[in-house]
Amino acid sequence: MKLTLILVFLFLGLQQKIPWNSPKEADNIQNPLKSDPVNIKAGNDLYTKYCLMCHGAKGKGDGPAGVSLVPHPGNLLSSRIAQSTDGSLYWKIKQGKAPMPAYVITDTQRWSLVNYIRELQKVNGISK
Ligand code: HEC
């Protein structure tokens, strides 16, 4: 019984530390959507509806449904994510990873979410 608990905690602990990496090919997917006020606004609306509950208003992973999640949603403003490619972010949004859902939305909507995450990074002084 004790051993089971130890193993469970070890497993959860490990899960939290392993970064989620996209496959190399994802880096080559080009963002077809230039960042402009219209699609940033569209991204903002989608983010509020589908992502904010876990990722939080500023992307810091402090949404009401996100704070106690394992693995934790992480911080979309981290330098690791700022440095990752648009293609990698798009791939992760499309793919999902439990407990993050793979939402059935259009590709354009996914790219406007990518552009919105970039905007969040920009307004918070984080750049590539
Ligand atoms: C149910 C909670 C939940 C919702 C809703 C959710 N996410 Fe996530 N998200 C997570 C968790 C948990 C992770 C971390 C997964 C991991 O690292 O194993 C994550 C990871 C990510 C990552 C990758 C971060 C990294 O560390 O590489 C991105 C990008 C992301 N989410 C974007 C979104 C977007 C955009 C939406 C809305 C369309 C969304 N998420 C909705 C829980 C959620």
Q: CA-CA distances (angstroms) from residue 23 to 17, 51, 54, 95, 120?
A: 18, 23, 24, 11, 24
Close Cβ partners of 27 (under 8 Å, ≥ 6 residues apart): 85, 87, 88
Is 63 near ligand 1, meaning CB less than 6 Å away?
A: no
Instruction: Say whether the peptide bond before residue 101 is cis (omega within 30 degrees of 0).
Output: no
Q: Which CATH topology does 35-123 take?
A: Cytochrome Bc1 Complex; Chain D, domain 2 (1.10.760)
Is 79 near ligand 1, meaning CB less than 6 Å away?
A: no
CA–centroid distance, residue 2 to ligand 1 (Å) = 32
Close Cβ partners of 76 (under 8 Å, ≥ 6 residues apart): 55, 59, 60, 61, 117, 120, 121
Closest atom, ligand 1, to C-alpha of 72: 12
Shortest-distance Cα residue to atom 39 of ligand 1: 51
Query: Is 15 a residue whose pLDDT tops 70?
Result: no
pTM of the model: 0.90
- At residue 1, the pLDDT reads 72
Reported as a single tens digit per residue, the pLDDT across 59-113 is 999 999 998 998 999 999 999 999 999 999 999 999 999 999 999 999 999 999 9
Shortest-distance Cα residue to atom 3 of ligand 1: 100
CA–centroid distance, residue 55 to ligand 1 (Å) = 7
Name the residue ranges covered by the structural domains of the chain. Answer: 35-123
Would you tell me how many other CB atoms lie within 10 Å of the CB of residue 105? Answer: 15
- At residue 87, the pLDDT reads 98
